[in-house]
Structure 1
């Protein structure tokens, strides 16, 4: 689907006050006509000498740092959204912790009162996320002043601070997934061009995944730049990713070839993840992001982006369920990776660390674990799919003996 088609979706999906935005659009059209009449062609850009410095300043709006400070005034998230990769320095306070996996970022630890507590500073081995504000794993006495139920709260965020960015972020996510949807097409091209080269199946998958994500990573990092602005933007991103009406509209565009369906059909070379027990319905952008997170071998920057939004409670619940609902596909990926890579490769261990980075953020909460068991029977799902892995290995071994 052409990215410009998403303009048609604004009135009925993400924007709650349609009349106000329609009025704003009409005003912008009038301004555009006035500029053209005054010989200010909009397509001429920065090189048009008709735009003097004062007019450029008005069109540019406030500097990004000023915009950041304006948003920070309304950043009153209950939980911290800091996420870090491996070898990052974090803190753990066993006096305040309900869970031994609890960790705090430097800012939250230093802005809280841990005087006289039993704490340590450590290098994170598999990456992590800050638990400040999370009453499931940390005593509220260990929260910093910015997080938790007693944090300083501001009024609602003015819509003019987030409306334009909401529109931009929605387009960026659609652009990101359109880039990822080229996976099966790229694989077919690669197979046609290199059919005489003895690549193994998994090596081909890794190679294609790297090409795709090299193109997509810039978009991920750009989105991350805005998510780092804090709670108001995190809530906007969570709304976009969970909007089922938006996703339905995107899938029903007439000029949208179903490249995602092609990727789904090509997703498994081993375990049957198309069985009724493992069937997954993809109903929002988060669902598709999860599929490509797995398909592209869990790239760290995409993990960081998706974990940063966990401070939104509705998103965290959906995210946790989707992670374990996709467990068959995750096991399939790891199984094929171990089967195809040469002995002694570090990639399986590195992939495992990246997956653990996600699972620890989910399973550290007893309430989330109970919800997962009640909602999707997570224990049975993990055990059933682990048994499938052993069954598949046994089947391969039997075939080898028969040969």
Structure 2
């Protein structure tokens, strides 16, 4: 009966069928005839990118109008307050530091030129990782910098969409999202080389159709975001119901479950094993959560990334996407370590994360509810723990310290950069930085991570024979210390500007001093008299942290030198390695 219904509708032609479907959807939330037609058009055994099928979707969505007429009508009710234009690498964008609340603010050329930035501190730049226009977003920039099309006042007096305008879209959209999910599952099962790349190519027109829908404005984007974030919709469409003996549904579920097991999670410390974002078993409750999973699994394909970002103007969706991203964050570090093209993958990860973590309120909520800061530090530690080698400072036989191997691809190709960039982004928010510096366990983990760079890449002076080939590890070593250690340090220090935060500085100094003591014990350096005058490491991030935070406490927070210095014996030991660096430069 269902197939007959679909057959009868299709004989009416696309416009006629669409008019009938709209009349049905205007009366009921469970349109039998539309679902019968979608069962035929969305049959997962058909290729997802058939032009004729996609054209049917466009006409059905239009409800009796032409697709172009429908798109123009929907745009008239676009009450979005933010721009949200998504761009990829090499796009020319602007950054106004005068108007920016977040250092990551970006504006498209149109919004920048239509805003008032006369006399402001701004620059034009070529985007490296891609971005999204922030015009109209009060969480990342001041309203005075908005153009006349965006901001809280932009939708004043704009009419609401008629109640039946989006009724077909509301009925169709969950089924369209399900079809994309089914395709992504199928491709993962093929096992062919570069299957993921070809799988995205095979769905290019289908994803382009979803892009076109999202470009119709806020009214359509709301329909799409509800379909993506409603747990009941996901459950109804993906759960295997009793008596469901559909071979395809059972196989799709099995493929999905196998794929979940194939994306491992770094082993978290025992005290964080119950953290939702560090669970060994992933549990998805919405389409957006599963879609983020496939985005990670497929190494962030550009088309899929842009689709996710196109909908960010909806605040509920932005929260849901951020939660989904954080739930998969520790697994992203695994992908970065193993990725075939780490530079491209890094840029695409940051293309997403910078849009999510630049919002202070959102970043703070993720830190509270999903332990975002702990996830970031654990992910960084996991990545570096895979490339540790025994340190060779002083007597190698008595040195039990392990450091990052600067010759490994993770270091040479800066695979850690997206994680460090994200951490730096969230620490630029004072409320998040305060959480970081107030948590003793987090500080202990952070300095354990810093210790992996302490004393690395030892330089040994050769006196007997010419060194034919100089190692190229020095660049990787200096880059890593600058990006992974120094940048977060200066970001944290920027929040410690007066005596009201001196307790935070003292907490950092205590944790840092403890890490330095552990390091001295591990390298068996108990006597300040060095006998190995021919070796030196230029990498002492623990010493740098201690000295910088000590200077901040004295210069800006009212402490005296005697309040922050360790005892004479410890101070003597601490001084020797920095002095060795100075001597080596003479």
Q: Which has the higher contact order (CA 8 A, sep 6+)?
A: 1
Distance 1:28 1:228, change over 3 A: closer
2:270 is equivalent to residue 266 of structure 1: no
1:307 aligned to which of 299, 306, 309: 309
**Counterpart residue number, 2:204:** 217
2:221 aligned to which of 218, 234, 259: 234
**CA RMSD, 1 decimal:** 3.1
**Counterpart residue number, 1:97:** 100
2:186 is equivalent to residue 179 of structure 1: no
**Counterpart residue number, 2:291:** 289
Matches of 1:349 and 1:24, distance apart in 2: 47
2:39 is equivalent to residue 20 of structure 1: no
**Counterpart residue number, 2:453:** none
**Counterpart residue number, 2:73:** 70
Show CA shifts across 1:156-207 (max 9, x none).
Answer: 22232212223333222111110001144211xx4xxxxxxxxxxxxx4xx1
Matches of 1:185 and 1:357, distance apart in 2: 27
Question: Structure 2 matches for 1:147-158, cutoff 5 A?
Answer: 147-153=150-156, 154-158=158-162
**Counterpart residue number, 1:111:** 114
CA contact (8 A) 2:102 2:358 kept: yes
In the superposition, the TM-score normalised over structure 2's length comes to 0.52
**Counterpart residue number, 1:244:** 231
CA contact (8 A) 1:76 1:146 kept: no
In the superposition, the TM-score normalised over structure 1's length comes to 0.74
Matches of 2:365 and 2:179, distance apart in 1: 33
Q: Which moved more, 1:309-318 or 1:166-175?
A: 166-175
**Counterpart residue number, 1:49:** none
Distance 1:147 1:391, change over 3 A: same
CA contact (8 A) 2:25 2:171 kept: no
Structure 1: 5+ residue runs without aligned partners? 1-16, 30-44, 46-55, 191-203, 342-346, 398-403
What is the CA-CA distance between 1:266 and the residue it aligns to?
2.2
How many matched pairs? 329
1:83 aligned to which of 86, 91, 102: 86
**Counterpart residue number, 1:35:** none
Matches of 1:282 and 1:276, distance apart in 2: 16
CA contact (8 A) 1:82 1:105 kept: yes
**Counterpart residue number, 2:319:** 317
**Counterpart residue number, 1:392:** 386
Matches of 1:146 and 1:209, distance apart in 2: 39
What is the CA-CA distance between 1:27 and the residue it aligns to?
12
Matches of 1:28 and 1:181, distance apart in 2: 22
Distance 1:69 1:60, change over 3 A: closer
**Counterpart residue number, 1:52:** none
CA contact (8 A) 1:186 1:208 kept: yes
Show CA shifts across 1:62-119 (max 9, x none).
Answer: 3333322221221111222211001111122222112222111223223323334333
Q: SS at 2:94's partner residue?
A: strand
Structure 2: 5+ residue runs without aligned partners? 1-23, 37-51, 53-58, 390-401, 403-586
**Counterpart residue number, 1:36:** none
Matches of 1:303 and 1:87, distance apart in 2: 16
What is the CA-CA distance between 1:25 and the residue it aligns to?
6.2
Matches of 1:323 and 1:247, distance apart in 2: 18
